Amino acid sequence: MRWFQRPQLPCAVVFDSLADKLQGALGDLRKKGKLDEEAISRAMREIRLALLEADVNFTVVRDFVARVREQALGEDVLKSLTPGQQVVKVVHDELTALMGEGESGLAFGKFTVILLAGLQGSGKTTTSAKLALALRKQGRKPGLVAADLQRPAAIDQLEQLGKQIQVPVYRTETKDAVEATRSGIERARADGLDTVIVDTAGRLQIDEELMAELARVRDEAKPHNILLVLDAMTGQEAVNVAQAFNERIAFDGVILTKLDGDARGGAALSVKAITGKPIKFASTGEKVDALEVFHPDRMASRILGMGDVLTLIERAEAAVEADDQAEMEKRLAAGQFTFDDFLKAYKMLRRMGPLQGILKLIPGMKDQLGDVDVDENQLGRVEAIVLSMTPQERRSPIVIDGKRRIRIANGSGATVEQVNQLLEARKQMEKMMKQMGRGKMPALPNQQAPEPLSAGRKSGVKRKKKKAGRR
């Protein structure tokens, strides 16, 4: 079957809510009360495109969709009032199950060797350090063996990271990676460590010479764990990479890196489907402690472009200092919401990443927002206005009279009207906070809420124009 049906070509592409699309494709199914081949096919095409957009390899997509198709024809879907959502659930569950198979932990022996391999730039060196730190925190005594003799200054990088996380790094003055591995492991053992992580040079899977070298390094290291380090942004190529590395060094599992970006990460599914090897860890940030166990359910949501509440909560937690959080809660409970609080909340939001991305993490929000584009500059203006207030004005906004409004407007490059809108917005928010303090859940501020903070049309959020020519 063709991937794109000609009449629907370009529209297939905008897909903000897979559930909506599927609902559209399957909605009338129920009325008919019987299977409609065409509707099912339409739904399957949406799933296919969703997975392709997420960089799942197309051969994997084909097999996967065939599997889902079987299940989508099941009773539950047909009986459901919302077959679209039901199908999404089937897809989501199937993705989760597939990616969740296999051992997620590491294998340990008396003296454990972990070998990391992968393409250039996938993040091996950084990941080595992150893994070492995680192991040290678990009470193990890890060491790092520098076996990347290719990239200029790679060993310096590992040494600096080692110092940072207080883990010894073993370097050997040699041009031979096997020798560096042997010597490093030997010394680590002699030093009484119980775990070593061997950081190898990045290599292309088609580079015969370097792949042979990697196999020799593996034979020398006799690792308990061989881990493929894979960039979450990898495209269709992920399959070739995984296959080739698996053939040469039969890795035990995968560490998926750069998951803190906005890549949908379909490569994770490709690699699992092609090699059967589990994804064990996810690397989620620049800092050396940003290594997590892999959550297949979250990954499934991510690949499908669905909300990810857990990630949202974690990011919010990371963005707010614990003290701040307690303080903020206390003030909110008291029904106070000054411009200082306003600024704090705003800064916290900024620390969580681009607003558009945050909003998309909220399930249902994406549908509510539709084609809305968040204008980050507008948020910047809000900050500028608040910063143009005196400390006293921020604490007790009541003192801001007409004259002060003009001054603030001039100071922040905003219009007086914009300043007025912001003042009004704060008032509304304070009201809302008071309600919350009394235990009432306020209505979400939508259209009727004042301008700068609302999800209204002219303010911080603007409607994206439909691109011309889209069918």
Partner 1 sequence: MARSWGQLLGDSDAPAESEVEQRGFFGRLRESLGKSRRALTEQLAVAAFDPGDDASWERLEEALIYADVGVRATAELIRRLEARQDLNELGAALAEEIAALFGEPATLDLAHEPAVLLVVGVNGTGKTTTIGKLADKLREHGRTVTLGAADTFRAAAEEQLEIWAQRAGARFVGGERGGDPAAVAYDAVGSDTDVVIVDTAGRLHTQTNLMDELAKVRRVIAARIDGAPHEVLLVVDATTGQNGLQQARLFSEVVGVTGVALTKLDGSAKGGIAVAIAYELGLPVKLVGVGEGLDDLRPFDAGDFARALVAE
**Which residues of this protein are in contact with partner 1, per CB under 8 A?**
1-4, 6, 9-10, 12-13, 49, 52-55, 57-58, 119-123, 150-154, 156-161, 164, 204-206, 231, 233-238, 240-241, 258, 260-264, 266-267, 286, 350-351, 353-354, 357
Q: How far is it between the farthest Cα atoms of the chain?
A: 78
Least distance between partner 1 and beta carbon 173 (Å): 16
Q: Which two tokens mark 425?
A: 């917005």
Least distance between partner 1 and beta carbon 311 (Å): 12
- The phi-psi region of residue 444 (left if phi > 0; otherwise alpha if psi is between -120 and 50; otherwise beta) is beta
Least distance between partner 1 and beta carbon 109 (Å): 30
Least distance between partner 1 and beta carbon 262 (Å): 5
Q: CA angle at residue 238 from 307 to 353, to 5 degrees?
A: 35
DSSP structure string for 119-134: STTS-HHHHHHHHHHH
Q: Is 233 exposed, middle or buried (0-12, 13-18, 19+ CB in 10 A)?
A: middle
**311 or 428: CB nearest partner 1:** 311
Q: What sign has the CA pseudo-torsion 380, 385, 388, 390?
A: negative
Least distance between partner 1 and beta carbon 149 (Å): 13
**126 or 412: CB nearest partner 1:** 126
Output the CA–CA distances (angstroms, integers) from residue 281 to 210, 238, 240, 245, 252, in the order listed.
Answer: 25, 17, 21, 18, 12
**126 or 388: CB nearest partner 1:** 126
Least distance between partner 1 and beta carbon 88 (Å): 19
- Alpha-carbon gap, residue 405 to 293, rounded angstroms: 51
**2 or 34: CB nearest partner 1:** 2
Least distance between partner 1 and beta carbon 426 (Å): 24
**85 or 205: CB nearest partner 1:** 205
**301 or 420: CB nearest partner 1:** 301
Cβ(184)–Cβ(221) below 8 Å: no
Look at the block and give the residue holding tokens 């890795």.
Answer: 251
Buried b (16+ CB within 10 A) or exposed e, 275-314: bebbbbbbbbeeebebbbebbbbbbbbbbbbbbbeebbee
**45 or 182: CB nearest partner 1:** 45
